Structure 1
Amino acid sequence: MPECLVFRVPTRHPADVSGVMDLIASGAVAAAEILAVFGKTEGNGCVNDFTRHLAVIALETALAGALGCTPEAVGARVALVMSGGTEGGLSPHLLVLARRDGAPAADTAALAIGTAFTADFQPEEIGRMAQVEATAAAVGRAMAAAGLDDPEDVHFVQVKCPLLTSARIGEAATRGRTVATHDTYASMGLSRGASALGVALALGEAEGAELSDAAIGTRRDLYSGRASASAGIELMRNEVIVLGNARGWSGPYAIAHRVMRDGIDFLAIQGVLADLGFSMSGQLTPEDSERVVALLAKAEPSHDGLIRGRRHIMNDDSDINATRHARALVGGVAAAAIGRTDLFVSGGAEHQGPDGGGPVAVIARVRT
């Protein structure tokens, strides 16, 4: 019987993989068991955030040494999802997710994980239906790998997706191809949005007839309540990690999710915690806080410039990108609920929850 292992380790800088290697050296996890690593790095989260690529290179190199293979081989099988931006009080860290087979049988559903990758996209496919459809197919494969037959048992789907650069746009032009946008920053949102709509399509949250190139980035009424997409310069494919609760899996962990209606929806976070059996009377106690191994959330400033009828300036600040404001806001709200700041809060929630809101999921130890 498989068991999903989850470890949270702090990092001192984007290339710090010592915590992961310590886990391997101690025998807590074998390098071959690792399926995915989520990371929060202290870059700006924008097109030129190379902290993500630095972290990926460091992880591929270190795991290659442990596995006796090339870094390219590590990248081919391990989903490395680096999300830039630790504004406010967010703490840089890594989440290591692994699968161990041969665990004792359990009589209840437990945390399950499955991964899948798309083929590399051509620049002209990014932010368009080709990316939507390829992502939906990858979600289906990842669900099958996790033994999750019912979409209702899926609580979070993390996607790492590519973006457009000037060089990639130019390469498409040499082949007579057009791209979804010539604005490289806007391409991040279109890529995230197409990826999220792929999740929505796979999970039955959206119908194929509703989706089109024109709907991506414009139809804010179309979204997934379980998708989290993070765009980066370090890849050209989509890497998909599906997390849910499945029978046939063992281990102490479970996952639950809700959808935050805006950036200050504290009650949605508390609702997730209640779903996992925590007694809610304000911030978690230190003991309960440590039972929470991961909080995963999306952050996005509302397009109307309002939060519950009151004006915000996130979209109007030319000095600090709006997604950076949003990460700090949601990170503070989440930290107030959990009582810790090493939380995976990712900016840019196009088609990931309602406008100004986003999914939030918690992985916690619910059994001893």
Structure 2
Amino acid sequence: MIEVEHLSKVYGSTTALQDVTFEAKPGEILGLLGPNGAGKTTTMRILAGYLPATKGTARIAGYEVHEQPMAVRQRIGYLPEVPPLYPNMTVEGFLHFVGRLKGLSAGDRPQQVQWAIAQCNLIEKQKTLIHKLSKGFRQRVGIAQAIVHNPPTIILDEPTTGLDPRQIIDVRNLIKTLAEDKTVILSTHILPEVNMTCHRVAIINYGKVVATSPLADLKAQQPDQLNYELDLQGSREVIEKELKNISGVLTWKWLSPQEQTQPRQKVRVTCHPDAALGQQLAHDLVYAGIELHEMRRLGTSLEEIYLELTTQELPPQSEVEVDPTQSSDLVTSSTPTAEPQDPEWVNSTPADRGDDEVDP
């Protein structure tokens, strides 16, 4: 389980995160959704123990990230936006290497490596050098290194960025499989990812969580306006005249082509959020002699909710997330050597460690 309470991160006079609170439960996929620069990656790096928070607490499986970092790292798998891979190692050799860094014993390592390879559908690629893999397969290797020690919590930062549609579907299915008995949190700025993958969503904007709830509850929240799609028979001139006279109608948009000569017309009407207004709309149109073939209320889309919650004026510069690669206390993930979870990760070679199982 992931528990985040009143988390803040400040770089000098710049606030990257402010009072962030959310939780993710076992068997659940939580989507951390927000525009670029909203604070998603900063949050992920704090959870992974790569970046200290200025204020607040983050607990994973009951362990406080800052006070018990080793216990936390044993219980998480972390995939940065750019996977920390060694291109001149084979898939299998790299996973043996990572398994050793993560504390797997020599007896358990082969079984766990093969389990991770099978979970990520890498069996046919396990003897291949990583630099020869496509981006989609490299992403799978990145997920495999995150799960090789079978952690109860998985943290994925933009896991489908740059993948083609087929690869995105494969990664989505893999994430859903992993979440059956684990806690998964993923960050994304792509709405379909949340819609297709997540059970719950936390929307973050300018370093603040502006909404957090089950996805179904978020979609069902009372909107500021209601939308109806009408299938009518009559001239546009007559229909528009009646729409203008109906109190509560805000705007409308024709869905039928402008050049259409048939009397059947489709129009989307936006009204005030009054439950009785739909009945009034139908009554007034029919009373005016317009034939109503169909009327249906349109649900509020996740896109509309997202835009409403994240559309606001740009805050002062001191509240915008800075580029963390410019911070001296942050480890970047753009190259493998920038991911020093352990000093051996950077400074040693398989030969130095006498690891015969690594196949560079």
TM-score band (shorter)? under 0.3
**Structure 2 length as normaliser, TM-score?**
0.27
